[in-house]
Amino acid sequence: MKILNKSHPKHKRLPRDWRKPFAAAMIAICMIVAPVASADTGVDTASYQGCWNGAQAKAAGVNFAFIKLNQGTGYVNPYANCQLDAARSAGIREGAYDFASPQTSTPEAEADKFVSEARARGMVGRAIPVLDWEPSAPGGYWGKQTWWALRWVNRVKATWGVNPMIYMSAAMIPTGDWSAVVATNAGLWVAGYPRGYMGDRLRNPGSVPYSVSPWPFAAAWQYSSSGAVGGISGAVDVNWFYGDAVTWAKYAGAPASSVTSNATTPPPNNKTNGAPVADANTLASAVIRGEYGNDPQRRQLLGSRYAEVMAIVNRRLAGSSGSVSGNNGGAYCVVVSSGDTMSAIAARSGRTPASAWSVPSGNINRIWPGQQVCYGGSTASSVGVHVVTTSHVVTAGESLWKIYGSGWYAAAQRNGLRPPYTIYPGQRLR
C-alpha cells in the first residue's frame, strides 16, 4: 500500500486564515460566559437617597454606583457631589446618568449638559456614562422616539470618548426600534422586577428573565427598585453588573488600574428588613414622599424603626390630606380611586383585614370611585372623622410607570392625562 501523506500528520494544521476567525469566535464565547462568573452588585442613586455612607454601603456589598447627575438641561442632582464622594472614599466604582427629558430639551444640549456636569466632577475617563430612558410610560409617544436617544448617544460618544449605556425597562424595549442605537455599540442596562415592588437586597439574581432584543445581551440588570442597603437611607435601586472591575474600566474608557477590584459577595446578614440608619425625621420625610411605598413594603423596609418613623409621619399629616395618614381620634376613611379594591386600600393603609372596613353598599366587593370607605365600622359622617384622599405629589425624575407600575394607565385616565402623559414635579396625582 502506498502511503501518500506519510510526511504529514493525519490532522493537517488549520490554514492560518481559518485560525483567526476561530480564535475570535472562542474569545467571543468566553466574553459571553466569563461575565456570569465575575458579576457583582451595586446601586443607583438620585436625590431621593440624599447623602449616603460609602463605607457602610461597601460593607453591605456595593461594588458600583450609578449616580444621577442631571435631568434635562435645567436640573442637577443636589446630592451628586456627596454621593460621589461617598463612592470614591470607599473604592466604589462610578457610573453617571442623565434622566432624559426629550419633551423639553434637544439631545445635543442635554448631552452637553451631562458631559459638562461629569467633567466638572472628574468623572470623564473613570465613570460609565448612561442615558436613563423613561420619558413616558411604555408605549407612550416620547418613549418611542428612539432618534432622540440615538443623537444623545452619538453626542456623548463624541465628547466623552466612549460608548455610553442606555437604561430602560424591559417593557420599554419592544415599543420602539432600537436597532440604530444597538449599532453604535451602546450597552443595555435593563430594569425589570420579577418580585414586584417588595423590598429586596443585594444578591445574585441570575440571568435576565426578559427578552432584550435587539441587544444581544444586557450589561447590567436593575432587578428591584425597593432595595434595602446598609448606609443608604430609604429604598434604593439594586443592580447586577455582568462583568468585573476590568469590564467596568472598558465601558468607562478608564485604565484598569484606576478601578477597584471586585469586592466579596454581600454578607448573608444583609437582610431586607434591616433598619435604615438615617434620623427619624429624615425617614419620615421620605415616607411622605412615597419612597417607602405602602404596607407591607413600608413595614419591611423600615424594619425595627417602623413605629418610630410612622409616629412622626402621623403627627405631621394629622388633619391633612395625603397618601399616608394617622387616626386623629376619629374614624379613618379613604376616598376610593379608580381601580381600587378594598384589599388594596387595606394593605396600603396598614389597616387590615379588609373585612373590618365599612362601605356604603355594605359589601366590601362593591365600591365605586369617589365613595368614602372607613376603617373600624364608622361612617364618613361620624364626628371627628379623618378622611384621607389617596394622592401622590410628583417629585423630579418620576414617571407614571415609576409611580404606579402596571397601573400607570388607570392613573393617567383618573387624572385626565393624555399622550405623551407628561407629569411635572409638584403635581398632585390622585
Instruction: Kindly provide the b/e burial profile for residues 105-142, where b requires at least 16 CB atoms within 10 angstroms of the residue's own CB.
Output: bebeebbbbbbebbeebebbebbbbbbbbbbbbbbbbb
Type and span of the H or E element at 158: helix 146-160
Distance CA 156, CA 164 (A): 7
Quick one: 165 exposed, middle or buried, by C-beta within 10 A (0-12, 13-18, 19+)?
A: buried
Q: Which residues pair with 68 in a beta bridge?
A: 97
| End-to-end Cα separation, the chain, in angstroms | 93
- Catalytic site residue from 40, 110, 134, 237: 134
Q: Checking phi first, is residue 30 left (phi over 0); if not, alpha (psi -120 to 50) or beta?
A: alpha
Active-site residue, from 132, 237, 340, 398? 132
Radius of gyration (C-alpha) of the chain in whole angstroms: 25
Adjacent-strand bridge partners of 240 = 41, 221
Indicate the SS3 state at residue 157.
helix
* Residue 44 bears catalytic tag: yes
Whether 134 is a known active-site residue: answer: yes
Selected catalytic residue, list 40, 44, 110, 237 = 44
Which residues, 6+ apart, have CB-to-CB distance to 427 below 8 Å? 393, 394
Pairwise CA distance, residues 130 & 363, whole Å: 50
Residue 175 cell numbers, joined: 415599543
Q: Does residue 40 have an active-site annotation?
A: no
Backbone conformation region of residue 405, classed left if phi is above 0, alpha if psi is from -120 to 50, else beta: left
**How far is the C-alpha of 62 from the C-alpha of 236, rounded, in Å?**
12
- Nearest residue to 159 (alpha-carbon basis) of 117, 206, 205, 197: 117
Catalytic sites, residue numbers: 44, 132, 134
